[in-house]
A and B are shown apart, each in its own frame.
Chain A
Amino acid sequence: MNLTADLMIASPELFVAIAAMFLLIFGVFQGNQSTRLVSWLGVGVMFIAAILVLAGPVGRVVAFNDLFVVDGFANFAKILLLLGAALTLILAVPFNAREGIPQFEYPVLILFAVLGMMMMVSANDLISLYLGIELQSLSLYVLAAIRRDAVRSTEAGLKYFVLGALSSGILLYGMTLVYGFAGSTGFDDLAAVFAESAGDGAPIGVIVGLVFIIAGLAFKVSAVPFHMWTPDVYEGAPTPITAFFAVAPKIAAMALFVRVMLEPFGDLFDQWQQVIWFISLASMILGSFAAINQTNIKRLMAYSSISNMGFVLVGLAAGNETGVQGVLLYLTIYLFMNVGTFACILAMRRQGRMVEDIDQLAGLSRTNPKMALALAIFMFSMAGIPPLAGFFGKLYVFLAAIEAELYTLAVIGLLTSVVGAFYYLRIVKLMYFDDPLDAFDQPVGREISTIVFGTSVVTALFAIIILVFPLLDSAANAAATLFAV
C-alpha cells in the first residue's frame, strides 16, 4: 500500500479537514460578517464530502497501517451523519442571525466535529478511535458553550466538558487494560486474539477493559446510566446546537459502538451482550418515564433521545445482521424525525423570543395548522404509530430481538414505547384540543419551513419510500460488511 492509495481512501476526511481549515482562515480575514457565507460553504463542503464518500471504494479497504477502514457500514453511517450535520447547520443559519450568535467559528467547529465523527466511524484501531472521539468532543464542548454571555449555555458547555473528560479517561483506561492483556490496539489483531482464545474465555483484564470501553461509548450515545449530562446540555445549548447534538454525534457514536462491539470484541459476544441488554433496557425505561414530567420541550427531546438510543441498542444487543440493519434503519428514521422536530421547535418564537414550554403549543392547530400537522406527524411517528416512519424503526430492531430470542427485552421495550406514547401524544392533544394561545411569529423562514416540509413528508410516507428506494437493501448490505470479516 503506498501513500497515494491511502490518501485516496481517506479523501472525504482529508477534504473536510482542508476545507475546514481554509474556511477558518477565510473567516479570520473576513470577520463575523462572513458567518452566513461560511455556513453555506460548510454545507457545500459536507455535500461534496458525501459525494466523495459515495464515489469511494465499494468493498472493505484499510489504510494507514490498518488504522483506518472504509466499508459499506462506514459509508452508510457517514452519509447519515453528513446529512444530519448539514440539515442542522442550515437550521442554524437564520437562528444565529436572529439570536445574535455572530461567530464564524460556528460552522467551522461543526466541520471539525464532523471530521471527528467520520474518523470515528472509520476507526480500525483503538488509537484512531480515540483520536476521532476527541476531535469530535472538543468541538462539541465549544459549540455547547458558544453563547459565552449566556449562563445556561456556558453551564451546559462546562458540564459537558467535565463529564466528557471523565468519560474519555474511562475510555482510555479501558484501552490500556485491553492493550495490556491482549497485546494490540488494532481491531483486526484483537479479533484474531479473541477468536483464538474463544474457548477458554478472555482474561479478566480484557473484561474489565471492555466494561470501561463500553462505559465510555455509552456516554457518547447518552445511554443509562451514563446519560445524566444529556438533559442539562440539551436544554442549555442553543437550539440548533441541540438539534445537531441530537443527530450527528449520536449516529457516529452508535456506528462506532456497533463496530467496536462486533469487530474486535465480536467473539466476546456472550460476555458483553448482558451489559448491552441492561443498558438498552434501562435507557428505554428511564427515557420513557422521566420524560413524562418535563415541561421544557428541549429536555423532553433529550429524554426522547435517551429512550430512542435504548431502542437502537436493542438491535446491537441482538448482535446479528438483522439487528445491525435495524440499527442503521432506526438511525436513518431517527435523523429525519429529530431534524424535523427541532425545526419545529426553532419555529416556536413569540414576539421575537424563543419559547420552549410545551404548554405554549396549545391550540397550534388553529394558529398554524401546517406546523401543527407536521409536528403531529413527528410525534405520532416517534410514538411508533404505523404507517409512519418510527414504526418501521421499532419493527426492525424488535424483529432482530425476537430472532435473537431476547423476548424480555422486546416485551419491556414495547411496554416502554406505550409509556413514551403518552408524552408524544400529549403534545398532539395540546395542539389539537386545547384553547389556542397567541400565534407564533410568522413567517418562520424559508430554511426552516423547507426542512419541516421535507422531513415530515419523509416521515409520513416512509412506507412508500422503502418500496421505491432500496433503503432496506442498502442497510442490509451495510450491515453484512461487518459480519463478512
Chain B
Amino acid sequence: MFTATIFLPLLGAIIAGFFGNRLGNRFAQLVSVLPMLASAVFSCVILFWVGFQGQSQTIHLFTWIDVGTLEISWALRFDTLTAVMVFVVTVVSAMVHVYSIGYMAQDPHIPRFMAYLSLFTFFMLALVTADNFVQMFFGWEGVGLCSYLLIGFWFQRPSANAAAIKAFIVNRIGDFGFMLGIFGVFYAFGSLDFDTVFDAVPGVAGQSFNFLGMNVDIVTTLCLLLFIGAMGKSAQIGLHTWLPDAMEGPTPVSALIHAATMVTAGVFMVVRLSPMYEFAPIALTVIVFVGASTAFFAATIGLTQWDIKRVIAYSTCSQLGYMFFAVGVGAYPAAIFHLMTHAFFKALLFLGSGSVIHGMHDEQDMRRMGGLFPKMKVTAALMWIGSLSLAGVPLFAGFYSKDIILESAFAAHTGMGLYAYWLGIAVALMTAFYSWRLLFLTFHGKTRADDQTFDEVHESPPVIIAPLLVLALGAIFSGWLAVEYFVGDQMKEFWGGSILMLNNVIEEAHHVPDWVVWLPTGMAAIGIAAAWVMYMAMPGLPKQLATAIRPVYRFVFRKWYFDELYDMIFVRPSFYLGHGLWKSGDGDVIDGVGPDGIAAATRNIAGRVGRMQSGYLYHYAFAMLIGIVGFATWFLFGFFQ
C-alpha cells in the first residue's frame, strides 16, 4: 500500500497523458481522479500507522546507480514527517483534481491538464519520500518541470509562456545551489544516503575546509548551499519573483503547486535535513533572517495589489516566510504544523478565488468586483473561513500554528528571534488587513462590475464547491485536532526520530508571557477593523492615504522594484551579451568561418575544378604529362635523399 500510494498518480498520469486524447475527456478525468482519491485514502491510513502507531519503515525498491563509492537506491522512506507530507499532498491534490473537472470543463486540453496534475503529484510524493539526496533532487526537478508545464499550460498566451520561463530560470538558480550542496555532501561524507550522512554530521561539525584560501565551516557551507535551493523553490526574498507571475497558470495549479505543496518543498527539505541544520547555527540564523524578511516584505506588497490571485500569492510568499523563521529558530514541528494548516486554508482561498473568477467569467481584478455576496453565498462563506484561518482568529487552524511559531521565535531569546517575532507581529496585522480588504472588495459593498457581467454572476457547480467544503473542514479543524501531536505534549512520540531538535524551543514557547500569546490575535482584530474602516465605512480613505504617502505607496505597489532591478542587473546585460554573441560571435565568426565559410569555399573549389575540365584534348594530355613529370621529379628527389 505504501508503494501504491506513490505510484498510483504516476499510473494515472501515464494513462491520461498518452491515451487521453484517444479515449476522451471524461475518461482522462476518471483515470486521473480515481487513483488520486485512492492515494489520498491510503495516505490517511499511512498517517495513522506511521504517526500514531509508530510503524516507520523504509521500502527499498531497487538500486539505481552503483558507481565506485556512489551507490544510490530507490527507496521510499516513511517516517512521521513523510507521512504528514504525503497526507497533505495527496489530500489537497485529490481535491484539486476533483475541482479541476469543473473548473477546466471548457478547456480544449483536458487530458493534458489532468496528466500534468497527476504527474506533478507523483514527483511531489517522490520528493517527500526520498531516502537520499539524489532521489530528492529527482522529485525536486520533477515538480519544477511540472510547475513549468502547468504555468505555461495556456501556451497561446505570451504572458503565460514568459511566466513559465521565469519560474524555470529563477528556480534553476536555486537548484544550482542545491546541486552544489549535494556535491558538497558527497565530497564531505562520501555518501548521499540520509541515514549515513546524518550519522556522520556530529563528527564533521566544526571542521572546515579550504576554499580559495579561506577556511570555511563544512556543515554551515553545505546547509547554506542547500538553503539556496530551498529559497528558490519556496520563493524567499530575492528568488521570489517567479511566484506572483506563476499565477498565469490555471487556478487549480496555483492552489496545488503554488500554495499548498511545491512551494513548501523548501521548508520540508530543511526540516528533513534537521540533523544537519542543527549543527549549523549560523545557517539557521540566516534562515531566520531571510524568512522573517520575506514574511514582512511580501505582506506589504499584498496590501496594495488589485489582482485577487496576486494578493493570495504574496500572502503565500509571506506565510512561507513564517515557516522558514520557525525552522530557523529550531521549531521544526511548528513549521510543519503551519505547512499543513496553510496547505488547507491557502488551497481553500485559491480555489475559492477560482470559483469567483469562474463565476465572473475570468475577471481577476478586484476593482471590478464587489457585492458578490448575495450571488455566491457558499463561495463567500468558504472564503471567509479561509481568511479567518489565515488571519489566525482563535479556534481556526491558522491560529494554533501561527501562534506557536511566533511564541517559538520569542522564546528563542536571540536577537534574530526577536527580529522575527516583531516582524511576525507586523505581518499578522497586515495579513488580517489584506485578507479582509480582499473579502470586502470582492463580496461586499456596492458592485463595481458592469451590469451585464454582474447579472451573469452565478454560484459554481457542486463539483467545484465539494472540494472546497473538504478543504474548509481542514482549515477549521486541522489546528485543534493536531496541535497536541504536532507541537503539544505528544510531540516526542508523534515525530519519533524523524526530526532532530537539540534545544527545546517549543517547550519554552509554552511558557512565554501572556502578552506575547495574545498580541498576534489582537493585531488580527485591529487589521480586520482597519480593513472595514477603509473599504466599508470610508471608501475614499485608501485613495487619500495612497496620495499622502505616494513614494512609499509606489515603492510597495511596484513590489519593491525587484523585477525592475533584476531586469536591469541580470536580464538586460545577459540579453545584450547573448545578442552580441549571437550576431557577431556565432553569426559572423562561427557561421562565417565555419559552416557558411566552408560551404562557400567548397563551391568555389568546385567551380575552379569544373573549369579545368575544358573539353580540349590537348589540355587533358597536357595534364597527364605534367602529372608524370611531377611524379618522376618527386620520385627522383626522394630517391637521392
Which residues of chain A have a CB within 8 Å of any CB of chain B? 159, 162-163, 166-167, 170, 201, 204, 207-208, 210-212, 214-215, 219, 225-226, 228-229, 231-232, 271, 274-275, 278, 286, 289-294, 419, 422
Task: Please state if A208 and B632 are interface contacts (CB–CB under 8 Å).
Answer: yes
Chain B residue numbers with a CB within 8 Å of A286 are: 609
Chain B residue numbers with a CB within 8 Å of A231 are: 613
Q: DSSP majority for the A interface?
A: helix
Partner of B613, one of A228, A274, A292: A228
Partner of B628, one of A170, A274, A291: A170
Task: Please state if A201 and B639 are interface contacts (CB–CB under 8 Å).
Answer: yes
Interchain nearest-CB distance for A307 vs B (Å): 12
Partner of B609, one of A159, A166, A215, A289: A289
Interchain nearest-CB distance for B325 vs A (Å): 62
Chain A residue numbers with a CB within 8 Å of B636 are: 204, 207-208
The residue on A at minimum CB distance from B622 is A228
- Cα A163 to Cα B623 with chains together (Å): 11
- Cα A460 to Cα B71 with chains together (Å): 45
Chain B residue numbers with a CB within 8 Å of A215 are: 624, 627-628, 631
- Cα A228 to Cα B611 with chains together (Å): 12
The residue on A at minimum CB distance from B618 is A162
Interchain nearest-CB distance for B628 vs A (Å): 5
Task: Please state if A225 and B602 are interface contacts (CB–CB under 8 Å).
Answer: no
Report 20 cross-chain contacts, Cβ distance below 8 Å, ordered by A residue.
A159-B617, A170-B628, A201-B639, A208-B632, A210-B635, A211-B635, A219-B624, A225-B627, A226-B624, A228-B619, A228-B623, A232-B615, A271-B635, A274-B635, A274-B638, A289-B605, A289-B606, A289-B609, A293-B603, A293-B607
- Cα A51 to Cα B328 with chains together (Å): 92
Task: Please state if B606 and A293 are interface contacts (CB–CB under 8 Å).
Answer: yes
Task: Please state if B617 and A163 are interface contacts (CB–CB under 8 Å).
Answer: yes
The residue on A at minimum CB distance from B632 is A211
Interchain nearest-CB distance for A278 vs B (Å): 8
Interchain nearest-CB distance for A156 vs B (Å): 11
The residue on B at minimum CB distance from A270 is B638
Q: Is B562's CB within 8 Å of the partner chain A?
A: no
Chain B residue numbers with a CB within 8 Å of A211 are: 628, 631-632, 635
- Cα A170 to Cα B623 with chains together (Å): 14
Interchain nearest-CB distance for B384 vs A (Å): 64
The residue on A at minimum CB distance from B638 is A274
Q: Is B621's CB within 8 Å of the partner chain A?
A: yes
A207-B636, A275-B631, A290-B613 are known contacts. Are A166 and B602 too (CB-CB below 8 A)?
Answer: no
Interchain nearest-CB distance for B110 vs A (Å): 37
- Cα A60 to Cα B621 with chains together (Å): 39
Which residues of chain B have a CB within 8 Å of any CB of chain A? 602-603, 605-607, 609-610, 613, 615, 617, 619-621, 623-624, 626-628, 631-632, 634-636, 638-639
Chain A residue numbers with a CB within 8 Å of B632 are: 208, 211-212
Chain A residue numbers with a CB within 8 Å of B606 are: 289-293
Chain A residue numbers with a CB within 8 Å of B624 are: 163, 166-167, 170, 215, 219, 225-226, 228
- Cα A290 to Cα B626 with chains together (Å): 20
11 additional A-B pairs beyond A162-B621, A211-B631, beta carbons within 8 Å, are: A167-B624, A204-B636, A212-B628, A225-B626, A228-B620, A228-B624, A232-B615, A271-B635, A278-B631, A289-B605, A292-B606
- Cα A275 to Cα B628 with chains together (Å): 10
Task: Please state if A292 and B619 are interface contacts (CB–CB under 8 Å).
Answer: no
The residue on A at minimum CB distance from B610 is A293
Chain B residue numbers with a CB within 8 Å of A292 are: 602-603, 606
Chain B residue numbers with a CB within 8 Å of A290 are: 606, 609-610, 613
Shortest Cβ-Cβ A-B pairs, 9 listed: A228-B620, A225-B627, A292-B606, A290-B609, A293-B606, A211-B632, A215-B628, A289-B605, A293-B610
- Cα A422 to Cα B617 with chains together (Å): 30
Q: Most chain-B CB neighbours within 10 Å: which of A170, A225, A275, A422?
A: A225
Interchain nearest-CB distance for B312 vs A (Å): 53
- Cα A170 to Cα B621 with chains together (Å): 11
Chain B residue numbers with a CB within 8 Å of A166 are: 621, 624
Interchain nearest-CB distance for A130 vs B (Å): 18
Task: Please state if A214 and B609 are interface contacts (CB–CB under 8 Å).
Answer: no
Interchain nearest-CB distance for B161 vs A (Å): 31
Chain B residue numbers with a CB within 8 Å of A293 are: 603, 606-607, 610
The residue on A at minimum CB distance from B606 is A292
Chain A residue numbers with a CB within 8 Å of B603 are: 292-293
- Cα A292 to Cα B605 with chains together (Å): 10
- Cα A207 to Cα B200 with chains together (Å): 79
Task: Please state if A163 and B621 are interface contacts (CB–CB under 8 Å).
Answer: yes
Interchain nearest-CB distance for A54 vs B (Å): 38
- Cα A210 to Cα B639 with chains together (Å): 13
A228-B624, A271-B638, A289-B605 are known contacts. Are A214 and B631 too (CB-CB below 8 A)?
Answer: yes
A219-B624, A226-B624 are known contacts. Are A207 and B631 too (CB-CB below 8 A)?
Answer: no
Chain A residue numbers with a CB within 8 Å of B615 are: 232
- Cα A147 to Cα B602 with chains together (Å): 37
Partner of B635, one of A208, A225, A291: A208
Interchain nearest-CB distance for B638 vs A (Å): 7
Interchain nearest-CB distance for A66 vs B (Å): 28
- Cα A225 to Cα B613 with chains together (Å): 12
Interchain nearest-CB distance for B637 vs A (Å): 11
Task: Please state if B620 and A274 are interface contacts (CB–CB under 8 Å).
Answer: no
Task: Please state if B617 and A204 are interface contacts (CB–CB under 8 Å).
Answer: no
- Cα A170 to Cα B632 with chains together (Å): 13
Interchain nearest-CB distance for B636 vs A (Å): 7
Task: Please state if B609 and A226 are interface contacts (CB–CB under 8 Å).
Answer: no
Chain B residue numbers with a CB within 8 Å of A294 are: 610
Task: Please state if A271 and B639 are interface contacts (CB–CB under 8 Å).
Answer: yes
Partner of B639, one of A207, A212, A228: A207
The residue on B at minimum CB distance from A226 is B624
Task: Please state if A204 and B609 are interface contacts (CB–CB under 8 Å).
Answer: no
- Cα A225 to Cα B602 with chains together (Å): 20
A275-B631, A292-B602 are known contacts. Are A225 and B638 too (CB-CB below 8 A)?
Answer: no
Task: Please state if B634 and A275 are interface contacts (CB–CB under 8 Å).
Answer: yes
Interchain nearest-CB distance for B614 vs A (Å): 9
- Cα A212 to Cα B629 with chains together (Å): 9
Interchain nearest-CB distance for A310 vs B (Å): 14
